[in-house]
Amino acid sequence: MASAKIKTEQVNLQCSECKRKNYITTKNKQNVQEKLELMKYCGFDRKHTLHKEIKVSR
């Protein structure tokens, strides 16, 4: 049986204010080529801030 190519990759979301990695999510690299930027809640800042994608280091 042929191995399936992985189309999704795991990415971390880093807070743009405190620079902490708060969230881990996956994205389909075929459909979304640009980096993710989401408004997420930062528990350290206690407010919603912009979180940007960084790759997971393995």
Domains of the chain in sequence order? 8-55 (2.20.28.120)
CA distance 24 to 27: 10
Residue 6, pLDDT > 90, answer no
Residue bearing the bigger pLDDT, 3 or 21: 21
pTM exceeding 0.85: no
Nearby residues of 34 by Cβ (< 8 Å), 6 or more positions away: none
CA distance 41 to 23: 10
pLDDT of residue 3: 63
Convert the pLDDT of each residue in 10-35 to its tens digit: 999 999 999 999 999 999 988 989 99
Nearby residues of 28 by Cβ (< 8 Å), 6 or more positions away: 7, 8
Residue 57, pLDDT > 80, answer no
pLDDT of residue 56: 78
